[in-house]
Amino acid sequence: MANLKEIRNRITSVSSTMQITSAMKMVSAAKLKKAQDAITAMRPYADKLTELLQSLSATLDEDSGSKFSTQREVKKVLIVAITSNRGLCGAFNSNIIKEVNRLTKLTYANQNVSYIAIGKKANDAFKKTNKVIANESRVFDDLTFDNVAEIAQMLMDKFVAGEFDKIDIVYNKFKNAATQIVTTEQFLPIVPVEGSASNNSDYIFEPSKVEIVEQLIPKSLKTQLYKGVRDSFASEHGARMTAMHKATDNATELRNQLKLTYNKARQAAITNEILEIVGGAEALNN
């Protein structure tokens, strides 16, 4: 009977776990809908704005080019790693950490690399290197454009001041609830699109092209970073919903197996008791 009690306790424990994972799945599903609508709505605008500014930057003379397009010898690199503040979302965070480590060890092996963490998981992973210059995990407490814009402005200021020669952002791009694509984007300097100069030759700019670019580039960069954070936010809930769905299925399967084992053990115990009673009755008769 001790064995039966142990199995009953395991069934109770697994059932509790299943209820928790099922509840987390439903919460993430509800949050995912809102996050998915937000990134789906802003992605075309952000992509078109980035494409427009890259095209305009390509038409500027080198002397009149934007300070954000300045190409310098890459010696100091800043990687902005966007993860989540919480776990229980499968490989969502570990994929970003692996990609950042790959960039550090391979792509920028000969450069001095520093990090900015957007998300507690990124900060926890890289703080041991003593190269995390800022932890911006608070942004997920109130995810608004203005809060992300402050981070983007800090990145722009550091690039213009010459503290870093190149800035990349690494995040999970949202495709659907089950698929997140690890994406690395060059944030600064802005890379003009080759061959786009002729495409803009028929436009008349008022005020001058240089003034337009100088005013729009900060807005474009802020929008680019906000899009990356929004993508990551939607991806997080998609990954957590998928992970909790699988966890619930596994818990259900384990509970069913335990119930089957319990019933078999219970039947065996009852059979043994019946055999003992029958054996005792026969002994008395004899």
| DSSP assignment string, 50-86 | HHHHHHHHHHS-STT--GGG------EEEEEEE--SS
pLDDT surpassing 90 at residue 68: no
Q: Does residue 162 lie in a domain region?
A: yes
Residues 184 and 259 in one domain: no
Residues 266, 245: Cα–Cα separation, whole Å:
31
Residues 90 and 208 in one domain: yes
Residues 95 and 153 in one domain: yes
Residues 116 and 82 in one domain: yes
Stated pTM of the model? 0.84
Whole-number percent of the chain with pLDDT over 90? 64
Tokens of 175: 């495709």
Q: Does residue 26 lie in a domain region?
A: no
pLDDT surpassing 60 at residue 2: no
Burial class (CB in 10 A: 0-12, 13-18, 19+), 284: exposed
Establish whether 89 is a catalytic residue: yes
Residues 86 and 226 in one domain: yes
The CATH number of residue 13's host domain is: 1.10.287.80
Q: Does residue 186 lie in a domain region?
A: yes
Q: Is 14 helix (H, G, I), strand (E, B) or coil?
A: helix
Q: How many domains does the chain have?
A: 2
Task: Give the confidence band of 77 by pLDDT, cuts at 50, 70, 90.
Answer: very high
Residue-number span of the structural domain to which 144 is assigned? 31-243
Residues 6+ apart with CB under 8 A from 269: 1, 4
pLDDT surpassing 90 at residue 62: no
Residues 69 and 132 in one domain: yes
The CATH number of residue 127's host domain is: 3.40.1380.10
In tens, the pLDDT along 186-230 reads 999 987 665 544 454 566 777 777 777 778 889 989 999 999 999
Q: Does residue 286 lie in a domain region?
A: no
In tens, the pLDDT along 220-275 reads 899 999 999 999 999 999 999 999 999 999 999 999 999 999 999 888 888 888 88
Which of these is catalytic: 35, 58, 89, 116?
89
Residues 128 and 40 in one domain: yes
In tens, the pLDDT along 114-165 reads 999 999 999 999 998 889 999 999 999 999 999 999 999 999 999 999 999 9
Residues 84 and 191 in one domain: yes
Q: Does residue 265 lie in a domain region?
A: yes
Residues 256 and 202 in one domain: no
Residues 118 and 256 in one domain: no
The conformation of residue 136, written as its DSSP 8-state character, comes to -
